């Protein structure tokens, strides 16, 4: 079986760097522009950074867990990597696009694989207006924040905020408030993946809010537009007995 052209990347923790050196000596190391597959060694945080780093390359990414959290990762082993890559199942994901306007008049844009979140910056609760496809759905949400999560990200921050878990392939997004105060009965919504969500910050001079797309943060925002970017596709590889779909499904029974 022919060894594919692999580019190994590793997180900054010592065990990951040591594992990368072992794997490179065994399977070779190609520069990204010549590689066919990216193999990421680390945890989920590093996997997200790797996906963002190589998002324009179109290369599939196979992660191996060396760290504390590895929901997006496969088990680590030095053996049989070529066979595992050949047998791996591919999962394709579309990220969210975040477009932000700030109080200073500047704008910013970023992609999110897990979620887009808005969070209060001070001790003052955020006051937010939520629109879906141009129609106001929540006139004034008093809260610590709100987030919009993909299916892949629904088991991360979204789950911690008591949002719904979304199985892969559902073509849906989870809109989840963070510590909501009013309206008291609203606990979020499941939206079609085709929607466009707009979140406006009310009383932004007094109640400052930041917006993040995964790890990319913009402060002092006045509005955020979010939607699924169908033009961008991320490819993740998983061992057949360690599928992402199964893990997301199982999270609902823990």
What's the Cα-to-Cα distance from 111 to each of 18, 42, 59, 95, rounded to whole Å? 31, 21, 17, 6
Give the gyration radius of the chain's Cα atoms: 20
pTM of the model: 0.89
What is the domain range of residue 214? 96-228
Q: Is 79 exposed, middle or buried (0-12, 13-18, 19+ CB in 10 A)?
A: exposed
CATH number, position 80 = 3.40.50.10330
Helix, strand, or coil here: 2?
coil
- Confidence category of residue 68, pLDDT binned at 50, 70, 90: low
pLDDT above 80: residue 1: no
CATH number, position 135 = 2.60.200.30
Please count the structural domains in the chain. Answer: 2
Residues 170 and 246 in one domain: no
Residues 89 and 100 in one domain: no
Tokens describing residue 92: 């394709």
Residue 40 lies in a domain: yes
Q: What proportion of the chain, given as a percentage, has pLDDT over 70?
A: 99
Q: How do residues 4-62 score in pLDDT, each as one tens digit?
A: 999 999 998 889 999 999 999 999 999 999 999 999 999 988 999 999 999 999 999 99
Query: How far is C-alpha 157 from the chain's CA centre?
Result: 10
Residues 208 and 88 in one domain: no
Residues 104 and 220 in one domain: yes
Residue 81 lies in a domain: yes
Residue 1 lies in a domain: no
- Largest Cα–Cα distance of the chain, in whole Å? 63
Catalytic residues: 44
Residues 136 and 165 in one domain: yes
- Confidence category of residue 252, pLDDT binned at 50, 70, 90: confident
Name the nearest CA neighbour of 115 among 136, 141, 143, 146. 146
- According to DSSP, residue 31 is labeled -
């Amino acid at each position: 079986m022919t060894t594919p052209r692999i580019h190994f990347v590793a997180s900054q923790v010592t065990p990951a760097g040591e594992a990368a050196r072992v794997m490179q000596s065994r399977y070779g190391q190609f520069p990204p522009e010549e590689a066919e597959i990216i193999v990421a060694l680390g945890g989920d945080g590093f996997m997200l950074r790797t996906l963002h780093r190589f998002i324009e390359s179109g290369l599939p990414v196979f992660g191996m867990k060396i760290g504390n959290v590895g929901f997006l990762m496969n088990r680590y082993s030095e053996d049989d990597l070529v066979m595992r890559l050949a047998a791996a199942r591919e999962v394709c994901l579309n990220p969210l696009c975040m477009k932000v306007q700030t109080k200073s008049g500047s704008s910013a844009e970023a992609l999110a694989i897990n979620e887009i979140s808005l969070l209060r910056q001070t001790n003052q609760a955020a006051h937010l207006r939520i629109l879906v496809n141009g129609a106001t759905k929540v006139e004034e949400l008093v809260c610590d924040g709100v987030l919009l999560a993909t299916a892949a990200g629904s088991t991360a921050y979204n789950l911690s905020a008591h949002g719904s878990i979304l199985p892969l392939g559902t073509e849906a997004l989870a809109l989840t408030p963070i510590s909501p105060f009013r309206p008291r009965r609203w606990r979020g919504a499941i939206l079609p993946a085709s929607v466009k969500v707009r979140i406006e910050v009310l009383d932004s001079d007094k109640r400052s809010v930041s917006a993040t797309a995964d790890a990319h943060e913009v402060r002092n925002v006045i509005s955020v537009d979010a939607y699924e970017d169908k033009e961008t596709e991320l490819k993740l590889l998983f061992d057949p007995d360690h599928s992402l779909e199964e893990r997301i499904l199982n999270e609902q029974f823990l």
